Structure formats: structure tokens, C-alpha cells
Chain A
Amino acid sequence: AQKVTQAQTEISVVEKEDVTLDCVYETRDTTYYLFWYKQPPSGELVFLIRRNSFDEQNEISGRYSWNFQKSTSSFNFTITASQVVDSAVYFCALSETTSGTYKYIFGTGTRLKVLA
């Protein structure tokens, strides 16, 4: 069965610290996609990144970077030099095709608090 685990419920860091949010997934499919979303206090979920199962290259976008490792079924997200505006709940999600449907399974989220 597909499952996404975000073991870190809440993380607090001081501004300018680096922080890594963990995501571990389970799937039987060989083709799948992984996502990260940000949910700021305003509530709207914002898409950050999508990665497919055939592309294990790490990605960097400004202060954000993602480390995808199929061997450990992990898709971790690092924020470098964190800022107060990074405070939000971050969700990892998995999308796969099972029986012709396209389900997106979300983890329970990690609440990040960046303190000034």
C-alpha cells in the first residue's frame, strides 16, 4: 500500500540555520511522483517541487534543495539559511497509478517555526 511518512511533527530553528525536513514513502509502483507543498499560515497549499521516480538527481532552487534517494525511499527537503517567512507546514506527497486512478497521498506534515 502507498504511504508517506513525515516523522517530524514540528521543528523550531533560529533564523539563518539550515533545516532538513524528512520524507519517507512506500509504494509498489515502479513509476511514481513525489511532491513537496508549503502551507503558510494563510492556509493555501503552494506547490514547491515534483520529482519522478526515474530521476534521482538532486535539485537546488535558491535556498531550497531536495535529496531523492530510491535506495532508502526518501525525498528530503533542506532549507538553507532559513528565514522567518519559511515558517509554515510542509507536506510531502506521493502520486502513483494504481488500477488506473491517480491518487495523491500526503504525509501528515511538518510544522516549521523559524524564530527571529
Chain B
Amino acid sequence: GAGVSQSPSNKVTEKGKDVELRCDPISGHTALYWYRQSLGQGLEFLIYFQGNSAPDKSGLPSDRFSAERTGGSVSTLTIQRTQQEDSAVYLCASSPRGPSSYNSPLHFGNGTRLTVT
């Protein structure tokens, strides 16, 4: 695709429900990142994928958060038993990875705005 696509763009859910957020990276980009941006705050790293594996999950806030990536493409971030403090914009980014693209810039999607009521 032309850019990183995230869905849904907005999600309102009740406290205690599970939600799934989807990210479709730029075709051919092997690295995929999830970040969280709370209102007026910076970008908080959640997890990073290289292909289908996640070398760094250090940013996941709790075991209610999980993510997977299949086929080296689409990724899903799942939040179980949502809490009000999970309300934020969840951003996905992708980049090419390889000897010729070391530390390439990240390409961001428009994010999913999650509101937990």
C-alpha cells in the first residue's frame, strides 16, 4: 500500500472489554513498531517486530497487552480487560530493514484513538 494503514481509526469500548487494533505496514517493510501516545504526551514504545518475531517487548505495560504479526505483514495489538488508563492513541510504524537500510526512518500510520469508558 501507499502508507501504513491502521484500523479502526477510532474505538470506544467499555472498561473490561477486549480490543484489537490492526496495523498494515508498507509493503516490503520488515520492521514494525507499536507506540502509544497519551493526551499531550510523547511516544511510548510498546513492542517491535522484525519479520514475525518480536525481539523487544519491553514496552508492553502489562500482561493485558499482547501483539502478534503474521506473514511478515499485518500486526494486531490486543488489549484484554481494558482499563481507563489504556485510553490513548496507538501508533504503528514500519521501516525497511537490511544492510542497506540500517536505522531507516519510521513511517507512521494515522493511529487508532482508543477511548475506554
Contacts and interface: CB of A to CB of B under 8 A. Distances in A.
A51 B111 CA distance: 26
Contacts, number: 54
B56 interface: yes
- Size class of the contact patch on chain B: 20 to 34
A91 B107 contact: no
A50 interface: yes
A45 B91 contact: yes
Interface residues of A, number: 23
Given A35-B105, A45-B108, A101-B48, A108 B56 contact: no
Chain B CB count within 10 A is highest, among A33, A100, A103, for: A103
A43 B111 contact: yes
A45 B111 CA distance: 10
A91 B41 CA distance: 11
Contacts of B108: 37, 44-45
Nearest to B41: A108
Contacts of A32: 103
Interface of A: 32-33, 35, 37, 43-45, 47, 50, 52, 91, 95, 97, 100-109
Interface of B: 31, 33, 35, 41-43, 45, 48, 50, 55-56, 89, 91, 93, 97, 103-111
Given A91-B43, A104-B45, 15 more contacts: A43-B89, A44-B110, A44-B111, A45-B108, A47-B105, A47-B107, A50-B103, A50-B104, A97-B103, A101-B56, A103-B45, A103-B48, A104-B106, A105-B45, A108-B41
